[in-house]
Structure 1
Amino acid sequence: MAAAGMSGPVMVQEQPHAPIVDLDADPIHMGAHDGPGRPADAPAAKSSVVSDDDREELVSLLEDIMDGEDAVEYATEMSRDVCTVAEARTFRSRLHEVGPNQFILETITTGNVGVRKLCSAFGVRIPAFFEGCEDEQLYQLLGLAINRELNKRPRLGQYSTIDDAAKLLQERSNIMVITGAGISTSLGIPDFRSKNTGFYSRLQEMGFQEPEQVFDIQNFDEDPSTFYTLAGDILPDLKKWTPTHEFIRLLQDKDKLLTNYTQNIDNVESHAGLRTEKLIQCHGSWATATCRKCKYRVPGEDIFENIRIHKPMECIKCTAEIAAHKTGMKRKRSSNGTSKKRRGPGDDDSESDGAYDIPQPGIMKPDITFFGEALPQDFFDRLKSQDKDKVDLVIVMGTSMKVAPVSEIPNFLPRDVPQIYISRDPIHHINFDINLLGDCDVVVAELARRAGWDLKHSMIAEDQKTTVTLVDDLEHISSVAVRRPGQLSEPPAQKA
């Protein structure tokens, strides 16, 4: 489970197309004409310079809209403003064929297609607060959607089915696995952002308008009791792991695992037996805890009891040094009945440096990456200097891939490396070659079976059977689920 949205340096990567959107101006001058579809008195799209804070807020809002965030209220879409599946594919294909400028000329500039309909072609739903507004006010949203589409890694056509995925497992030897909260929820560990069930949703029910603030480093330093009071719900179980964790361990045991990049903070991967050199915990984890003052580090489970009783844990090293300092000062004053010589302004004060200046013990903080902290540097070092050139297969599991910089990894890697996506719900901002929708535990069990591997776990029934249904041939999407009694093993529509 990851404290989603943790801040950190964003990965620098080369993009195949230059951005076409300038948030301080009309994107590629869309709307800067009086052609068809634009009333002469319609307001121009926003062109005044915005502050950095306003820009960041605007970008965040637009990206939430493109990702279909539940926090945004969406309009009821009229059929004339929404592309059919076939139309959307045609528009996307044309964009890649002719480029953004010609595409805009053929659609927006000529007035042949409305901006709302084009937005739907790129999977963007229009928020309710845009109802009744002029088309020009949607140009920035459309421009960002076009940028995202152009920067997508193209799907590899030769891979599409679960059997293709099983064959890739057998053939490849440097498999990168990217994981999120969905691989741990079967243990009862909540994710952060799921509507109604996520940890943030629980915090909102408790009255926190901005639940992310519980994981703000400044707030922790000012009042750690808030985190210690609320974090009990996300403490990991140190003795259990899921079939998905076991599957990743199986990849390691078969010497096929290159690296598991996990956004989860539960540290379940380690308890499942993943070696340190095979694991990058992108958002930190509960594995260790560190004093905010002296940086003394302890095993993470040392602070679990304090979290359960809602009492911030003071650093034992700080406490010991403060106690020793006080005892030493008393001993010096009473050793010979005289006071220590008073220091002059220029005298050396080295004896009072360091721990003796600590007025009170520091508080232990789990080494989760809070908002306001940088991501672990080994994430960037490992990805760019080693894994990028070695990876030959990517498997993404249990994550919606919305949090940077992890969300940027698929487009950062060489485009001829096949990529598999496993999760309950599809995503549309990244082109995966094979999409297997369902519970991660069910999907990996079926993948292992088809690969001829023996995946043993108490949560996998000995006689478990699954059904695989082709959902969308062109998008390479299949649904994988435990088969109900009497259900056919493979629906006729399933592609071999």
Structure 2
Amino acid sequence: MESKRSAGRPRGRPRRERDWHAVPEKTRKSKVKVEEVSDDQQVGHIKVKEPTYNHLTELEERVNDLGESWETESLFEDIIEDLAEPNFFDDVDACTPEQAVRYRQQLRAVGPEEFCRLTVDSRTITAKKLLTAFGIRPPAFLEGMPDESYFGLLTLAMTRELAKRAKIVKYNTIDDAVHLLKKSKNIVVLTGAGISTSLGIPDFRSKETGLYSQLEKLGLGINDPQEVFNIDIFRDDPAIFYSVAKDILPNTKKFSPTHAFIAMLQNKGKLLTNYSQNIDNIEANAGILPEKLVQCHGSFATATCQRCGHKVQGDAIFADVKAGKIPRCEKCIASLRSKGPLKRKRSSNASSRKSRRYHDDDDDSSDDRYDIPAAGVMKPDITFFGEALPDEFTKRLVKHDRDLVDLVVVIGTSLKVAPVSEVVPYLPAHIPQIYISRTPVSHINFDIDLLGDCDVVVAELCRRAGWDLDHEMAVPKEQEIEATLEPGYTSRHNFKVVDPVAEF
């Protein structure tokens, strides 16, 4: 499963995903640096200024409360992330996809000043409608206000677009993607939860079916289901995590056709590195070698005592995890036993009662019924919110892959989780990039978007490449897969199985 780096955010309006490191939101600077928006600033002949509000919503009050320039940057980029959608809108006066592509290309060709002169200044299009060319829905709180009220957001939308890597225009078709796969020798593959969902493992963010959606219904006494994976909350009360850990514990030795596809790239001598955001360790089942794999968010493969640092194989704690119990360090317990008999826990202890809310183990002979304060809690070696990523992540990316990579393939992830989301922008812009997932992303310009179930997309790529994807769950060779170009795009393709045969 793709790990989850946005804990601590109250529910309500969506925001961009938080960094892996626990940086308070109000002190977080935006990643895209823009100049402070002031009354005197202009883009082209557009005078940028903050609008005046009469009926203040929470978002509007935050706008009015801003003082420091970095706060302005952070807020308005948050607004853009809130309003950004990968598809265009039928319920607003929006640019068509074809128009949007032309406007984005024009911005890059002539620069922001001339672009503004040719568009908004010449009154060929309103700022409100032009926002939609950059995938931004005009905010409801500006509805009915003068068009200049949209200038601030438009300025940042253009800055955001120019900060993106420019698409390589010669790569557009599915056959282009196949050609790149066949010729490349050092492919960086970045994967997320989408490559495991066909195994019945839920992703984190899908509505209704995603893990976070399911956790919301459990009433765990936390503000946000993502707090289950917050390291501070784990240290305060590990029972909260262990009450749900059984639901994300990998319990299969299987792997998906997409895992098999990545292993195939490795076996063909093409895989440079697989950066996985998943914590299920299924890559190992598929045979991806440890030296080719960076588990960016750790995994259940091992577990470590939070007191003495004793490390064990992950399956050593699986029995306790499956029972919803807190696994304790056997080394710590053995050391305590050697010093004398253990004392029973005091039933009046509030924290003990709090922990017992999450499991029904009332066996007085269990170690859980004894007061062993020095016996450390075992924690799977997955990276929680507030913990640093493994050193291997940065070391491999900076000192090895950046200079060798000749193709980037992103599969089954929305790339909203930092710093893994920064891998793609960090790699050289001239290296081709392919995106495979069910839905497109708007914050990164990939050269080719292949949209659909990951297993279906990789099956079609292998068929066209003449590669045999040997997997019991793979799409049968006789099965027809329909691939259509999305209207308004030259490089966005949608895949679906046509009238599936009975065995698929």
The TM-score bracket by the shorter chain reads 0.7 to 0.9
Task: Pick the aligned partner of 1:482 from 482, 493, 497.
Answer: 497
Q: Highest Rg: 1 or 2?
A: 1
Task: Name the CA distance, whole Å, in 1 between partners of 2:266 and 2:290.
Answer: 12
**Matched residue type, 1:234:** I
Match of residue 10 from structure 2:
none
Task: Name the CA distance, whole Å, in 2 between partners of 1:311 and 1:370.
Answer: 19
**Matched residue type, 1:87:** Q
* CA 363–221 in structure 1, closer or farther in 2 if over 3 Å, else same: same
Q: CA deviation at 1:2?
A: 1.8
Task: Pick the aligned partner of 2:212 from 184, 200, 206.
Answer: 200
SS in 1 for 2:243: helix
**Matched residue type, 2:180:** L
Q: TM-score, normalised by structure 2?
A: 0.78
Q: CA deviation at 1:186?
A: 0.4
* CA 219–119 in structure 1, closer or farther in 2 if over 3 Å, else same: same
Task: Name the CA distance, whole Å, in 1 between partners of 2:304 and 2:177.
Answer: 41
Match of residue 438 from structure 1:
452
Task: Name the CA distance, whole Å, in 2 between partners of 1:9 and 1:230.
Answer: 23
SS in 2 for 1:97: helix
Match of residue 4 from structure 1:
4
1:373 aligns with 2:391: no
Task: Name the CA distance, whole Å, in 2 between partners of 1:197 and 1:134.
Answer: 41
Q: TM-score, normalised by structure 1?
A: 0.79
Match of residue 176 from structure 1:
188
Instruction: Please tell me the root mean square deviation across aligned C-alpha atoms, in Å.
Output: 3.5
Task: Name the CA distance, whole Å, in 1 between partners of 2:146 and 2:246.
Answer: 48
**Matched residue type, 1:177:** V
* CA 213–134 in structure 1, closer or farther in 2 if over 3 Å, else same: farther
Q: CA deviation at 1:405?
A: 2.0
**Matched residue type, 1:482:** V
SS in 2 for 1:311: coil
Q: CA deviation at 1:106?
A: 4.7
Task: Name the CA distance, whole Å, in 2 between partners of 1:459 and 1:75.
Answer: 36
Structure 2: runs of 5+ lacking an equivalent = 7-18, 23-30, 342-371
SS in 1 for 2:312: strand
**Matched residue type, 1:66:** A
Task: Name the CA distance, whole Å, in 2 between partners of 1:118 and 1:192.
Answer: 33
Match of residue 468 from structure 1:
483
Task: Name the CA distance, whole Å, in 2 between partners of 1:133 and 1:219.
Answer: 44
Match of residue 81 from structure 2:
63
Q: Could you report, residue by residue, the CA deviation over 1:30-88 in whole angstroms, capped at 9, with x for unpaired residues? A: 699889xx99x9x998595149789756644542332579xxxx998432xx2223332
Match of residue 270 from structure 1:
284
Paired residues of 1:27 and 1:139 also in contact (CA < 8 A): no
Paired residues of 2:302 and 2:380 also in contact (CA < 8 A): yes
Q: Could you report, residue by residue, the CA deviation over 1:120-145 in whole angstroms, capped at 9, with x for unpaired residues? A: 01001134344445656544433332
**Matched residue type, 2:289:** R
**Matched residue type, 1:464:** Q
Q: CA deviation at 1:108?
A: 4.8
Paired residues of 1:289 and 1:367 also in contact (CA < 8 A): yes
Q: Could you report, residue by residue, the CA deviation over 1:413-443 in whole angstroms, capped at 9, with x for unpaired residues? A: 2222111111111222222122111111111
Task: Pick the aligned partner of 1:279 from 293, 302, 305.
Answer: 293
Q: CA deviation at 1:370?
A: 0.9
* CA 257–34 in structure 1, closer or farther in 2 if over 3 Å, else same: closer
Paired residues of 1:23 and 1:140 also in contact (CA < 8 A): no
Q: CA deviation at 1:445?
A: 1.4
1:225 aligns with 2:239: yes
Paired residues of 1:178 and 1:260 also in contact (CA < 8 A): yes
Paired residues of 1:173 and 1:257 also in contact (CA < 8 A): yes
Task: Pick the aligned partner of 1:292 from 306, 310, 315.
Answer: 306
| Equivalent residue runs for 1:247-262 within 5 Å | 247-262=261-276
Bigger CA drift: 92-101 or 266-275?
92-101
| Equivalent residue runs for 1:34-73 within 5 Å | 48-50=66-68, 59-67=77-85
* CA 454–122 in structure 1, closer or farther in 2 if over 3 Å, else same: same
Bigger CA drift: 460-469 or 161-170?
460-469
| Equivalent residue runs for 1:357-436 within 5 Å | 359-436=373-450
Task: Name the CA distance, whole Å, in 1 between partners of 2:485 and 2:46.
Answer: 46
**Matched residue type, 2:329:** C
Sequence identity (%) = 48
**Matched residue type, 1:165:** A
Q: CA deviation at 1:149?
A: 0.9
Paired residues of 2:409 and 2:435 also in contact (CA < 8 A): yes
* CA 219–317 in structure 1, closer or farther in 2 if over 3 Å, else same: same
**Matched residue type, 1:191:** D
**Matched residue type, 1:146:** M
Task: Name the CA distance, whole Å, in 2 between partners of 1:463 and 1:85.
Answer: 34
Paired residues of 1:27 and 1:143 also in contact (CA < 8 A): no
* CA 26–402 in structure 1, closer or farther in 2 if over 3 Å, else same: farther
Q: Could you report, residue by residue, the CA deviation over 1:262-296 in whole angstroms, capped at 9, with x for unpaired residues? A: 11111111121111110111111111111111121
* CA 91–32 in structure 1, closer or farther in 2 if over 3 Å, else same: closer
1:142 aligns with 2:154: yes
Paired residues of 1:20 and 1:27 also in contact (CA < 8 A): no
Paired residues of 2:32 and 2:160 also in contact (CA < 8 A): no
Structure 1: runs of 5+ lacking an equivalent = 11-17, 328-357, 487-496
Moved over 6 A (4+): 30-35, 51-55
Task: Name the CA distance, whole Å, in 1 between partners of 2:261 and 2:39.
Answer: 49
Q: CA deviation at 1:238?
A: 3.5
Task: Pick the aligned partner of 2:465 from 451, 466, 478.
Answer: 451
* CA 144–393 in structure 1, closer or farther in 2 if over 3 Å, else same: same
Q: CA deviation at 1:404?
A: 1.9
Q: Could you report, residue by residue, the CA deviation over 1:190-241 in whole angstroms, capped at 9, with x for unpaired residues? A: 1111111111111122245411111111100111111100122111134111
**Matched residue type, 2:449:** N
Bigger CA drift: 86-95 or 137-146?
137-146
SS in 1 for 2:136: coil
Match of residue 173 from structure 2:
161
Task: Name the CA distance, whole Å, in 1 between partners of 2:69 and 2:298.
Answer: 32
Match of residue 14 from structure 1:
none
